[in-house]
């Protein structure tokens, strides 16, 4: 078997960061990364179980890989690995190992088993496992992801995450700050803090909460932007709003899933907040950071959702006016309480509601984006635009996708000022005006419209 590997990643940012951790373990074991599975000794499928039919998707990809002439060994990681465990070995002979997201640090054991021609399943959660930040193989030179808290204790009735990623385990504040300082020293411009319920963070040593952690990271010299996902509305406190408002490096972007606009459905989802509480939170956040760009997750067609419930979801969208909405038609997940609810809705109703919702969210996002035409936004260049090789693609400080023609002496990882000339629902288009110096003193990085540090 050749000492080469490739990783295919599906799903959320947590999974993408887990792939960086897996890559780090491969590199330390002497393996070399390749892009093409036809050249790989080992192919890892880092799976996601949030979307529909994840096992079928996985088995079909394994079928394709099994037919490759080089006959790669196949490892399955991610949420489907944790969810299905041993079952997977029985369902696909080609699988060499199954490694749950809580067992990434044990990849060397799986590689050892491959070398001995044994198949292994490593799943479960280990609160004492070391998070070895030094072993992460980072794929971006502009953005660095850092896990702050693993798992989730919320047990929303539709969600499989507490079963696939286990209970919440927060990392010590000192370790997270040290990792962020390392990324800053390496010149990364943006730090993205990750957690399924990031504002449930509680330092196991000092008891400090997420607001304190965020504040410490915001004072590290170097990175221009700090983002964090995902916040649970019921855990979002005024201390965190205060940090958001006071620290110019903390992005004016916030992902705040609401899931439904109906109190009846929120209670059945076990979200533990009401529509009024969610709207009040949005009001408090906007009072502190008026131009914040909000995004959200929403589920349509949850069991028992009536036309009136759905109308409440639409009215919440109108009231908040999100810059981006990630909407899903409900589909049952194994082991979750909602999968056993007797009042599941037919597929056509879910499809119709999803289409109606997208129509409104796209119209609102277009209106919001069009207000930015004529303004100049600092854009961090991520790479070439997917649509045109003659354009760059990057993100504004509040996380909007911005495309603009390549011109001047700029490249990936630089921040340039872009004047916006047109806008759609999902992206902005502009012309580069000038480069922004790599490291500005804090005071000069305050974007227009952002309250100053001492704002009441
Ligand atoms: S808070 Fe998020 S990750 Fe946790 S159970 Fe609810 S939806 Fe899933």
Q: What is the dihedral angle through the alpha carbons of 123, 128, 133, 137, rounded to the nearest 10 degrees? A: -10
pLDDT interval class at 139 (50, 70, 90): confident
Tokens (6 digits) for 201: 């963070």
User: Are residues 216 and 235 located together in one domain of the fold?
Assistant: yes
CA 234 – ligand 1 centroid, Å? 12
Asked whether residue 300 is domain-assigned, the answer is: yes
Q: Count the domains in the chain.
A: 4
User: Are residues 366 and 395 located together in one domain of the fold?
Assistant: no
- Lowest mean pLDDT, pick from 102-106, 152-156, 192-196, 348-352: 102-106
User: Are residues 383 and 412 located together in one domain of the fold?
Assistant: yes
Asked whether residue 456 is domain-assigned, the answer is: no
User: Are residues 101 and 198 located together in one domain of the fold?
Assistant: no
Mean pLDDT of 12-38: 92
CA 350 – ligand 1 centroid, Å? 21
pLDDT at 435: 62
CB atoms inside a 10 Å sphere around CB 322: 21
User: Are residues 229 and 150 located together in one domain of the fold?
Assistant: yes
162 pocket-lining for ligand 1 (C-beta < 6 Å): yes
Asked whether residue 450 is domain-assigned, the answer is: no
CA 383 – ligand 1 centroid, Å? 32
The values of phi and psi at residue 355, to 5°, are: -65, -40
Residue 270: pLDDT above 90?
Answer: yes
User: Are residues 235 and 153 located together in one domain of the fold?
Assistant: yes
> Which residue's structure tokens are 């509040």?
398
User: Are residues 304 and 381 located together in one domain of the fold?
Assistant: no
pLDDT at 130: 67
Range of the domain at 318: 277-370
The answer to whether 71 and 2 are in contact (CB under 8 A) is no
Q: pLDDT, tens digit, for every residue of 150-190?
A: 999 999 999 999 999 999 999 999 999 999 999 999 999 99
pTM surpassing 0.85? yes
Residue 80 has, within 13 A of its CA and on its CB side, a CA count of 26
Q: pLDDT, tens digit, for every residue of 331-346?
A: 999 889 999 999 999 9
pLDDT at 141: 83
155 pocket-lining for ligand 1 (C-beta < 6 Å): yes
pLDDT at 135: 74
CATH label of the domain that carries residue 411: 2.40.50.140
Residue 396 has, within 13 A of its CA and on its CB side, a CA count of 27
- The minimum-distance atom of ligand 1 relative to the CA of 297 is 7
pLDDT at 52: 72
* Average pLDDT of the residues of the chain: 91
In Å, how far from its chain's centre is CA 436? 27
Mutating to test ligand 1, I would choose from 159, 165, 256, 265 the residue with most ligand atoms within 8 A of its C-beta, which is 159
Q: Alpha carbon of 210 to those of 164, 177, 404: distances in Å? A: 23, 12, 36
User: Are residues 93 and 197 located together in one domain of the fold?
Assistant: no
Asked whether residue 112 is domain-assigned, the answer is: yes
pLDDT interval class at 377 (50, 70, 90): very high
The answer to whether 43 and 37 are in contact (CB under 8 A) is yes
User: Are residues 54 and 149 located together in one domain of the fold?
Assistant: no
């Amino acid at each position: 078997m050749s000492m080469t590997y490739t990783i295919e990643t599906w799903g959320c940012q947590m999974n993408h960061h887990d792939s960086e951790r897996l890559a780090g373990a491969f590199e330390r074991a002497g393996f070399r990364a390749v892009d093409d599975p036809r050249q790989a000794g080992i192919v890892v499928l880092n799976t996601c179980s949030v979307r529909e039919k994840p096992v079928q998707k996985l088995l079909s990809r394994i079928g394709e890989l099994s037919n490759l002439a080089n006959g790669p060994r196949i490892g399955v990681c991610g949420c489907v690995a944790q969810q299905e465990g041993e079952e997977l070995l029985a369902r696909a002979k080609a699988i060499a190992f199954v490694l749950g997201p809580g067992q990434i640090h044990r990849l060397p054991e799986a590689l050892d088993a491959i070398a001995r021609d044994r198949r292994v399943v490593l799943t479960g959660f280990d609160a004492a496992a070391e998070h070895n930040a030094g072993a992460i193989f980072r794929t971006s030179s502009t953005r660095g992801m850092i896990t702050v808290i693993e798992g989730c204790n919320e047990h929303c009735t539709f969600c499989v995450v507490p079963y696939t990623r286990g209970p919440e385990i927060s990392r010590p504040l000192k370790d997270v700050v040290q990792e962020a300082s390392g990324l800053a020293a390496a010149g990364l411009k943006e730090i993205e803090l990750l957690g399924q319920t990031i504002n449930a963070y509680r330092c196991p040593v000092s008891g400090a909460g997420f607001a304190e952690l965020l504040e410490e990271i915001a004072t590290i010299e170097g990175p221009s932007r700090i983002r964090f996902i995902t916040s649970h509305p019921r855990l979002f406190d005024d201390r965190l709003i205060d940090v958001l408002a006071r620290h110019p490096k903390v992005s004016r972007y916030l992902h705040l899933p609401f899931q439904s606009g109906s109190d009846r459905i929120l209670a059945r989802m076990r979200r533990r907040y009401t529509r009024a509480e969610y709207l009040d939170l949005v009001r408090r956040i906007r009072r502190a950071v008026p131009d914040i760009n909000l995004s959200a997750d929403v589920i349509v067609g949850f069991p028992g959702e009536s036309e009136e419930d759905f109308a409440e979801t639409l009215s919440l969208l109108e009231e908040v006016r999100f810059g981006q909405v990630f909407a899903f038609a409900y589909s049952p997940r194994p082991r979750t309480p909602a999968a056993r609810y007797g009042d599941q809705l037919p597929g056509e109703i879910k499809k119709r509601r999803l289409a109606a919702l997208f129509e409104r969210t796209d119209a609102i996002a277009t209106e919001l984006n069009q207000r930015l035409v004529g303004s100049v936004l600092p854009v961090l260049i991520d790479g070439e635009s997917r649509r045109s090789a003659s354009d760059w693609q990057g993100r504004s400080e509040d996380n909007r996708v911005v495309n603009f023609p390549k011109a001047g002496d700029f490249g990936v990882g630089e921040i340039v000022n872009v004047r916006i000339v047109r806008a759609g629902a999902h992206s902005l288009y502009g012309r580069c005006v000038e480069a922004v110096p790599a490291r500005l003193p804090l005071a000069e990085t305050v974007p227009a419209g952002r309250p100053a540090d001492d704002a009441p």
